Amino acid sequence: MATPLPDGVVYAFGDCELDTRLHELRCAGERRHVEPQVFDVLAYLFASRDRLVTKEELLDAVWGHRYVAPTTLNSRIKHARQAVGDDGAAQRVIRTVHGLGFRVVADVEERVDERATSRPEQRIRFCTAADGARIAYATSGTGPPLVKPANWLTHLEYDWDSPVWRHWLRELSRDHTLVRYDERGSGLSDHDAEDLSFDAWVRDLETVVDAMRLERFPLLGLSQGCAVAIAYAARHPERVSRLVLYGGFAEGALVRARTPQAREEAEMLMRQLPLGWGRDNPAFRLFFAARFLPEGTPEQMRWFSELQRVTTSPDIGVRLRSTAAEIDVTALAPLVHAPALVLHATGDAAVPFDQGRALAALLPNATFVSLDSRNHILLEEEPAWPRFVDEVRRFLAGD
């Protein structure tokens, strides 16, 4: 069985450190650029340094079930050696055992990064919306409140330990009491709620913050949660101190479809949802995950794929997706005068970059930050993640 890729460990060798929490290689105190797959190769070899790692095992650990040509693995090993100052002749760090595999031969000291392993506990509770739907919400961390409106497909318990969301929850709970909830129809909230409209989503946010007896607080929206945050802030300007909006949009996919081709593409994706999802087709779910995490590891892609299955049913998933596609808060955004920080990934395939810029232009008091990433959900190991954390922390410090 392959060793899991390490998380929160620092491997020190010579004058270098391989930091799996920050996804960094540092030599003589200087950070060296390493491609994501090359980093994963290094991390796996260092985690398995007490033994020989076969080529087949390494391929399975880093690439999963995807086909990889032998030349690709050889190229990644070559670049891994170059990154740590090694070469194929001397092989002082990574030794090739011809015909079998590879082994780390350098002296290595392993340190556990306590910042990665320590995280707050979460407490899950329930409140009831006006129409009787039970909404599950969770709190974690200490300090002033930070409220996160629900985005599409969440599960309070499943997300807590996931390789896609756990770094988000850890960092957002570091300086605040993070309040988040499952959208009606998904996760631990009622799945049989009849009203899955956008207005119901906004009312659910009202229900959660009222249950928490919060008076004034910042909102942090992701994806469709940005529109919910804007609608709430327009209704309750006295209660919203600041807005952080990442990967969001003012117009849903069908509303912003300006051409027949764009509308057909948006409708096709929704038509495919019940077919692939309802037949428990993992290949379809992985295709859908690739829109959100094109640079994700096999573990992250598998987790995101599984989330779609455990969070809600195919029929409800389609209804929720259809509601998101019809969102239009272009008339509400100019009414929101609270300071706003709008962030968007330049290569986002799920919500195009120009949607983030358009959203920032609608808000009277917004600052826009572009992040160099292709992922709709920022991953811990990519450089865009620490920049996101720094920007958000500085912005919320002014609250």
**pLDDT tens digits along 265-304:** 777 766 666 555 545 555 665 667 778 888 888 778 878 8
Q: Specify whether 101 is located in the same domain as 141.
A: no
**Averaged pLDDT for residues 149-171:** 91
Q: Specify whether 339 is located in the same domain as 366.
A: yes
- Is 292 inside a domain boundary? yes
Q: Specify whether 77 is located in the same domain as 217.
A: no
Of 58-72, 280-294, 302-316, 329-343, give the range with the top mean pLDDT: 329-343
- 3-class DSSP state for residue 71? helix
Half-sphere exposure of 58 (CA within 13 A, CB side): 32
- Token pair of 153, please? 């497909």
Mean pLDDT of the chain: 88
Q: Specify whether 171 is located in the same domain as 28.
A: no
9, 39 in Cβ contact below 8 A? no
Residue 278 confidence (pLDDT): 47
- Is 247 inside a domain boundary? yes
Q: DSSP string of 330-371?
A: TTTGGG--S-EEEEEETT-SSS-HHHHHHHHHHSTTEEEEEE
Q: Specify whether 365 is located in the same domain as 245.
A: yes
Residue 368 confidence (pLDDT): 98
**pTM listed for this prediction:** 0.71
Lowest mean pLDDT among 26-30, 117-121, 159-163: 117-121
CATH of the domain at 56: 1.10.10.10
Domain closes at, from 63, 95, 114:
114
Residue 3 confidence (pLDDT): 59
pLDDT over 70 at 113, yes or no: no
Which domain, by its residues, includes 208? 119-397
**Averaged pLDDT for residues 173-194:** 95
Q: Specify whether 206 is located in the same domain as 273.
A: yes
Q: Specify whether 202 is located in the same domain as 324.
A: yes
- Is 33 inside a domain boundary? yes
Q: Specify whether 64 is located in the same domain as 164.
A: no
- Is 145 inside a domain boundary? yes
- Is 2 inside a domain boundary? no
Helix (H) or strand (E) holding 217: strand 217-222
- Distance, in Å, from the CA atom of 161 to the CA atom of 199, rounded to the nearest integer, reads 30
Domain closes at, from 114, 143, 171:
114
Domain closes at, from 57, 83, 114:
114
- Is 3 inside a domain boundary? no
- Is 4 inside a domain boundary? no
Q: Specify whether 126 is located in the same domain as 252.
A: yes
Cβ neighbours around 168 below 10 Å, total: 24
Q: Specify whether 206 is located in the same domain as 339.
A: yes
Residue 114 confidence (pLDDT): 56
- Distance, in Å, from the CA atom of 271 to the CA atom of 370, rounded to the nearest integer, reads 32
State the total domains in the chain: 2
- Token pair of 70, please? 């032998």
Binning pLDDT at 50, 70 and 90, where does residue 215 land? very high
More confident residue, 5 or 385: 385
Q: Specify whether 74 is located in the same domain as 207.
A: no
Q: Specify whether 186 is located in the same domain as 48.
A: no
Residue 262 confidence (pLDDT): 75
CATH of the domain at 247: 3.40.50.1820
- Distance, in Å, from the CA atom of 28 to the CA atom of 365, rounded to the nearest integer, reads 43
- Is 1 inside a domain boundary? no
